[in-house]
C-alpha cells in the first residue's frame, strides 16, 4: 500500500486492517503448531530420545518414533503446502502490483528507492522459503548431515 497507493495508505491500513492481518497470521501459526504438537504427542517414542539437531525438528521427531508416521508426514506436508502456497500467492500478487507501480514511477531515483525498500524483504522471503523447503522436502536420512544442520540454522535464525 505504501508504494502502490501512498495517499490511501492511512485510510486502508487502519487499526482494523492491522488487527485482521495480525489475527490471520497468529491463527495460521497457532493451527500449524497445534497440528505439529498434536501429531508429536500421539506418537510413541521408545527408541533413543536423542535428536541430532539444534532443536526438535518435526522430521527428526518423526524419525525417532516407534510407530508408522506416514499419515503424520502426509498431513503435515499437505497443511504446510497449503499454508505456504497461500503465503507465496499473497507475496507474489503484492510484488507484481509493486513492480508494475514502480515501473510507472517517472524518476530514476524514485524507482531506485522503491526497489531498495522491497529488495531486503524479497531476499529474506526467498532465503526462508528455499531453505525451509529444501530442509523439509528432501528425503530423510539415518543421521543428519552438516547440510541438514546448516539448513535448519539458515531458515530458523537468519530470517528472523
Alpha-carbon distance of 147 to 26, in angstroms, equals: 30
Per-residue confidence at 1, pLDDT binned at 50, 70, 90? confident
At 128, give phi and psi (nearest 5°): -65, -50
Residue entry with cell 535448519: 152
Longest dimension (CA), the chain: 66
Which ranges of 53-69 would DSSP assign to H, the alpha helix? 58-63
Identify which of 94, 82, 100 has the alpha carbon closest to the alpha carbon of residue 125.
94
Percentage of the residues of the chain whose pLDDT score is greater than 90? 7
Which ranges of the chain would DSSP assign to H, the alpha helix? 9-12, 15-42, 58-63, 70-103, 108-137, 146-157
Per-residue confidence at 121, pLDDT binned at 50, 70, 90? confident
Using left for φ > 0, alpha for ψ between -120 and 50, and beta otherwise, residue 74 falls in: alpha
* Model confidence, pTM: 0.66
Percentage of the residues of the chain whose pLDDT score is greater than 70? 84
Q: Is 153 exposed, middle or buried (0-12, 13-18, 19+ CB in 10 A)?
A: middle
Q: CB atoms < 10 A from the CB of 42, how many?
A: 10
Per-residue confidence at 54, pLDDT binned at 50, 70, 90? low
Please, how many CA atoms are within 13 Å of residue 29, restricted to the half-sphere of its CB? Answer: 6
Q: 3-state DSSP call for residue 8? A: helix
Amino acid at each position: 500500500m505504501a508504494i502502490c497507493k501512498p495517499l490511501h495508505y492511512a485510510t486502508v491500513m487502519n487499526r482494523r486492517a492491522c488487527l485482521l492481518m495480525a489475527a490471520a497470521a497468529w491463527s495460521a501459526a497457532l493451527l500449524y503448531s497445534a497440528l505439529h504438537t498434536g501429531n508429536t504427542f500421539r506418537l510413541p517414542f521408545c527408541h533413543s530420545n536423542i535428536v541430532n539437531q539444534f532443536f526438535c525438528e518435526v522430521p527428526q521427531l518423526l524419525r525417532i518414533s516407534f510407530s508408522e508416521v506416514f499419515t503424520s508426514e502426509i498431513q503435515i506436508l499437505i497443511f504446510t503446502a497449503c499454508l505456504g502456497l497461500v503465503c507465496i500467492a499473497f507475496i507474489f500478487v503484492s510484488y507484481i502490483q509493486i513492480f508494475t507501480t514502480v515501473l510507472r514511477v517517472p524518476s530514476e531515483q524514485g524507482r531506485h528507492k522503491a526497489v531498495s525498500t522491497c529488495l531486503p524483504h524479497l531476499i529474506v522471503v526467498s532465503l526462508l522459503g528455499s531453505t525451509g523447503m529444501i530442509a523439509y522436502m528432501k528425503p530423510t536420512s539415518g543421521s543428519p548431515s552438516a547440510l541438514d544442520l546448516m539448513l535448519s540454522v539458515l531458515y530458523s535464525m537468519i530470517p528472523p
